[in-house]
Structure 1
Amino acid sequence: MTDAAALAGRHLDLVSAPFTLPRSRVLVFRADDGEGVRVHTSEYERRLSDCRVLDALTVVDAGGEVLSVTEVHPARVTFGGVSTLTFADPSTLSIGPSSGSATAAGLRVRLRRPDGDVEEHPLDAGIRLRIAGDRAVSVDRGDHTAALAATEAIWTDWFAKCPIVRGDLQEMTAFCWWVLGANIVELPSLGDARAIVPSKIGYVGLWQWDAYFIAVGLRHGDPELAREQLDIAVRFPQHDGQLPDVVHELGVLATSDDLPESDRANLRRAGSQIADPTVPVPLTKPPLAAWALRKVLEVEDAPDYARTQLARIVRSQDWWFAGSDLDHDGMPEYGHPYSSGLDDSPIFDGPLPTAAPDLGAYLVRQDRELASLLERYEPSADVVRFRERAATTQELLLRMWDAERGRFLAFGGGEPQLSDTVVGLMPLLTGTLPAPIAETLRAAVDDPARFALPWGLPTVAASDPDFSDERMWRGPVWVNTSMLVAEGLEASGYPDRARELREQTVALVIHGGGPHEYFNPHTGQKARTATTAFGWSAALFIDLAVQLS
């Protein structure tokens, strides 16, 4: 294995980071009782506890003593230094004696199935556990040495692409590169498509926004796979150009009709004044596709690919103005919290739909990105309309500025939402705010009572009544919002402050022990309910590490 693989292996604790294989739906965790491991599958919209394959897999020696896990590497889990577990293929585990082990005689593997049945098998040269789609396990013999070599080759090839960065960032970069490889799954409905999911622990699908952020980090080592993520995200537009929220193994999620009743109730809770909560509401994600496409193409140009994606992104951008301007004032709104990516933000505590300053900023940025990309790849295209629309949208965005409060406000059903949140900082991304407004936002980023917390930029200002340092989108630090604000600071003329925020963000991930979904801004540790080994956090750490190096 490469040095990068060894560095990544230091973080594979089988708790926050399971043992798995690119393209596999099999996950191996440390057993709850500390003896051996347990095996699950990774499935769309199913809890890990509902996807049990084996409640315990233990290796015992000739005297019946259970051997503990002594080492974890991307290619293998070692028990007692004398036996290893690896993959024979994406749906098959292989267990056998370690190569050259002199104490392997009499080793047995003990399996406890979810129904309580326990069985033992002698290891000898190795056995294989084939895991079917219904989670049933069949046991047969197999060449364990060959399985080890094949798995090692897969990870060697993957880590050969790991970006080389500054020395203090290299170990976490290697682990984050492992996270991206580990989160690759196949989507059977798309043939051999490789989707990097946010997490095999609970987020098994390709979310549109996640795909953009993942592609931005992935481009530094595997631009072809980065392009594939963007292609999947925009390949299935609705008839009017709207892009779906999620592409998953059963199809797409593009409307509230696809949601469970508990989620649909969000549309009724405040009595939307504009959107009819009894009819389907489109579900999508914020318009950052052209931003991500431009970044991916910077690393490796692909003109034919670019033209295909641009046609889809243009239709999506037009949809926002034609299909999501629900009060017909020229500024599109979020018709559902899920379409914002910040599902639980207090800006959605009021009526729906919600006009938000982050959406306005993204729309301005995307129209400008489209104009530049079309000039490069479609020289005959009329780009004037994109630049004119960007200018008009920015004028409407500036109407959200509350000079008395010194911040941008969101509006729910036309009513101002007074929560002081990170979405109010996103207009920095336009790079063309009036200087006094840009300076006021920069000061907010530096204010320890609001956004300058010990471990980074909270998603709700610490001084706001809605702030919680643990609740999703109501205070914890997210890598993606920190990265976007840093980019906005740079675009608005504050490159030194942008670099400081980037340095603070990578320091947070290292301090917190890995690329978690979100972090407590006071302790710098994983928030209690956050997912671990999270895709966009890993990808954006890599992107930041490359920039800082």
Structure 2
Amino acid sequence: MNLAALAGKHLDLVSAPFTLPRSRVLVFRAPDGVRVHTSEYEKRLSECRVLDSLTVTDAEGQALPVVDVLPGRVRFGASGAEATLTFADPSTLSLGPSTGSAANAGMRLRFERPDGGVEEHPLVDGIRLHVAADRRVSVEPGDHASALAATGAIWDDWFGKCPIVRDDLQEMAAFCWWVLGANIVELPSLGDARAIVPSKIGYVGLWQWDAYFIAVGARHGDPELAREQLSIAFRFPRPDGQLPDVVHELGVLATSDDLPESDRVNLRRAGSQIADPSTPVPLTKPPLAAWALRKVLAVGDDPAFAREQLPRIVASQDWWFAGSDLDHDGMPEYGHPYSSGLDDSPIFDGPLPTASPDLGAYLVRQDREIADLLERYEPDVDPARFRERAAATQQLLLKMWSPEHGRFLAHGGGEVQFSDTVVGLMPLLTGTLPGAVADALRHAVDDPERFGLEWGLPTVAASDPDFSPERMWRGPIWVNTSMLVAEGLEASGWPERARELREHIVALVIHGGGPHEYFNPRTGLKADRATTAFGWSAALFIDLAVGLSV
């Protein structure tokens, strides 16, 4: 089975650029050829222009169109003339004519720089374009055949690790595996650390939550790389145990003070009746660290790694109760929407901080996961306090249940937030809800007026006035929240319904044309502003496909 060829069916150079693991160079389709950009932290593609056009012409000066793309090369051709583009190394592109055709004589390479400068070079044997850190391009001759072979070998090795799944899921699984490989970048500040970023288009960093979901998918083909994602996410705890929101090439993002001054004003706790708006806002992500660690260890057990990471996870969990219980009622809150992962959810339309049922559920689940991991890897440590805290947190979580509304409700700055959102389904993850409460959530999942839509679970119920099928976290379907609800259904005693939802998720990704950031719940297609080739969507498709293929 040629998995690289299966993935190549989706490499359109529009939603999926041509790139290489560890490379910051991206190649996209252009009217007469391709264009080249770099991938940089917190910078748009428009700010990272390298070549505005790169064209291969035949002896008559006619541009050769892109005729097909594989992970290891882009092929240009027309009327017998043919050339290919590949990588010579992560910072260097290589172009050269295909062998065996007289029509290749007279081909030329033409490219235009962002400053308007134009260069032309005969494409005799091979040309290499080296992209410097300042995005300037230098040209030199090079052995194109060896570059093709080396790039092909890199992708052959990567696809050699791709999980083999059910026939109807294999093509998309191959593409999703390509996404994970394509999204690998090096973080020079961490030595040779490899981070699988959410996307090389606009998301060049290791976000804590993304790292957990990405590791859960990567574990099926490359457990070592999966562990590396968790290691990076856990590497820079603050003195109080809080884990940063993002690890990136320039440092970390752990508070509003790690952002440019122009962004800080927007991140103060304006409107909060509890928190001090003059202090830095801690920025993190929801506590799923132990959940991710347990899943990664289930595929490739590594007791030494587990014992190294557990103290950091414990410290992070303790921080939620010591540092983010902002009203001191025993239930931690989100100090800022960024820390929830669901930045634009209507549960944050009210004052901050926000006590939310998803956070309560994650904290219950994490304390239990920690207790189980300690029993396995640190048998001399008493896990009782974690189970006791989980039980206490669940009792506080149940206070968010509204019998009148039949759902869990968030509270912002002490005010009830009535929006009917997917966060209200997350208490299923505890697996220990009272029967009537769990049944009500199961009914909500199936209700076609709320969450049981044709293409899956919207992030805001379709009957809610805040529902928008296109607006981020206010209606579109996200793979990660849908997967967590499926896991909650299984934990709560409905494994068959969980499997149905998982089948629904993979069908959505296939129907939508790839692992996009989020999907329109009415059409099942990519939402207009969603990022394509998105890391956690790809990783979780792989995880679901493996599970559904058993």
Q: Which residue of 2 aligns with 1:415?
A: 415
8 Å CA contact 1:477, 1:521 repeated in 2: yes
Spell out the pairing of 1:515-530 with structure 2 (5 A cutoff).
515-530=515-530
Amino acid at match of 1:243: L
Spell out the pairing of 1:250-399 with structure 2 (5 A cutoff).
250-260=250-260, 263-267=263-267, 271-399=271-399
Tell me the secondary structure at the aligned position of residue 93 of structure 2: strand
Spell out the pairing of 1:188-203 with structure 2 (5 A cutoff).
188-203=188-203
Amino acid at match of 1:123: L
8 Å CA contact 2:368, 2:390 repeated in 1: yes
In structure 2, C-alpha distance between the alignment counterparts of 1:466 and 1:98, rounded to whole Å: 56
Q: Which residue of 2 aligns with 1:79?
A: 76
In structure 2, C-alpha distance between the alignment counterparts of 1:373 and 1:198, rounded to whole Å: 28
Tell me the secondary structure at the aligned position of residue 39 of structure 1: strand
Residue-by-residue CA offset, 1:501-544 (whole Å, 9 max, x unaligned): 10110000000000000000000000000000000000000000
Q: Which residue of 2 aligns with 1:21?
A: 20
Q: Which residue of 2 aligns with 1:46?
A: 43
In structure 1, C-alpha distance between the alignment counterparts of 2:189 and 2:548, rounded to whole Å: 39
Residue-by-residue CA offset, 1:283-330 (whole Å, 9 max, x unaligned): 000000000000000001100001011111000000000000000000
Residue-by-residue CA offset, 1:168-191 (whole Å, 9 max, x unaligned): 000000000000000000001001
In structure 2, C-alpha distance between the alignment counterparts of 1:368 and 1:335, rounded to whole Å: 24
8 Å CA contact 1:197, 1:204 repeated in 2: yes
**Distance apart, 1:258 and its partner CA:** 2.2
In structure 1, C-alpha distance between the alignment counterparts of 2:38 and 2:57, rounded to whole Å: 24
Spell out the pairing of 1:452-471 with structure 2 (5 A cutoff).
452-471=452-471
Segment drifting more, 374-383 vs 271-280: 271-280
In structure 2, C-alpha distance between the alignment counterparts of 1:184 and 1:337, rounded to whole Å: 27
CA 1:262–1:467 in structure 2 vs 1: closer, same or farther (change >3 Å)?
farther
Residue 435 (1) aligns with residue 435 (2)? yes
Residue 58 (1) aligns with residue 55 (2)? yes
**Distance apart, 1:382 and its partner CA:** 1.2
**Distance apart, 1:497 and its partner CA:** 1.0
Q: Which residue of 2 aligns with 1:9?
A: 8
Q: How many correspondences in the alignment?
A: 546
8 Å CA contact 1:99, 1:145 repeated in 2: no
Q: Which residue of 2 aligns with 1:231?
A: 231
In structure 2, C-alpha distance between the alignment counterparts of 1:35 and 1:420, rounded to whole Å: 48
8 Å CA contact 2:212, 2:289 repeated in 1: yes
Tell me the secondary structure at the aligned position of residue 94 of structure 1: strand
**Distance apart, 1:259 and its partner CA:** 3.0
Amino acid at match of 1:465: P
8 Å CA contact 2:256, 2:268 repeated in 1: no
In structure 1, C-alpha distance between the alignment counterparts of 2:386 and 2:319, rounded to whole Å: 13
8 Å CA contact 1:205, 1:248 repeated in 2: yes
Residue-by-residue CA offset, 1:75-100 (whole Å, 9 max, x unaligned): 00000061000000000000001133
Tell me the secondary structure at the aligned position of residue 525 of structure 2: coil
Segment drifting more, 79-88 vs 467-476: 79-88
Amino acid at match of 1:65: Q
Spell out the pairing of 1:196-211 with structure 2 (5 A cutoff).
196-211=196-211
In structure 2, C-alpha distance between the alignment counterparts of 1:28 and 1:537, rounded to whole Å: 22
In structure 2, C-alpha distance between the alignment counterparts of 1:232 and 1:54, rounded to whole Å: 33
In structure 1, C-alpha distance between the alignment counterparts of 2:290 and 2:418, rounded to whole Å: 31
Amino acid at match of 2:120: E
Q: Which residue of 1 aligns with 2:247?
A: 247
Residue-by-residue CA offset, 1:257-284 (whole Å, 9 max, x unaligned): 2234565444558511111122101000
CA 1:159–1:43 in structure 2 vs 1: closer, same or farther (change >3 Å)?
same
What is the TM-score of this pair, normalised by structure 1?
0.98
Residue 507 (1) aligns with residue 507 (2)? yes
8 Å CA contact 1:25, 1:43 repeated in 2: yes
Amino acid at match of 1:236: F
Residue 213 (1) aligns with residue 213 (2)? yes
In structure 1, C-alpha distance between the alignment counterparts of 2:269 and 2:309, rounded to whole Å: 37
Spell out the pairing of 1:81-100 with structure 2 (5 A cutoff).
82-100=82-100
In structure 2, C-alpha distance between the alignment counterparts of 1:528 and 1:275, rounded to whole Å: 36
Q: CA RMSD in A?
A: 1.0
In structure 2, C-alpha distance between the alignment counterparts of 1:351 and 1:144, rounded to whole Å: 59
Amino acid at match of 2:411: F
Identity of aligned residues (%): 82
Amino acid at match of 2:309: Q
Amino acid at match of 2:387: R
In structure 2, C-alpha distance between the alignment counterparts of 1:262 and 1:451, rounded to whole Å: 38
8 Å CA contact 1:15, 1:30 repeated in 2: yes
8 Å CA contact 1:267, 1:277 repeated in 2: no
In structure 2, C-alpha distance between the alignment counterparts of 1:388 and 1:503, rounded to whole Å: 36
Tell me the secondary structure at the aligned position of residue 453 of structure 1: coil
8 Å CA contact 2:268, 2:280 repeated in 1: no
In structure 1, C-alpha distance between the alignment counterparts of 2:454 and 2:134, rounded to whole Å: 47
In structure 2, C-alpha distance between the alignment counterparts of 1:428 and 1:261, rounded to whole Å: 40
In structure 2, C-alpha distance between the alignment counterparts of 1:314 and 1:307, rounded to whole Å: 11
Amino acid at match of 1:368: R
Q: Which residue of 1 aligns with 2:149?
A: 149
Residue-by-residue CA offset, 1:347-391 (whole Å, 9 max, x unaligned): 000000000000000000000000000000000011000000000
8 Å CA contact 2:256, 2:267 repeated in 1: no
**Distance apart, 1:117 and its partner CA:** 1.1
Tell me the secondary structure at the aligned position of residue 338 of structure 1: helix
8 Å CA contact 1:267, 1:352 repeated in 2: no
Q: Which residue of 1 aligns with 2:484?
A: 484
Segment drifting more, 266-275 vs 299-308: 266-275
In structure 2, C-alpha distance between the alignment counterparts of 1:102 and 1:500, rounded to whole Å: 56
Amino acid at match of 1:344: D
**Distance apart, 1:119 and its partner CA:** 1.0
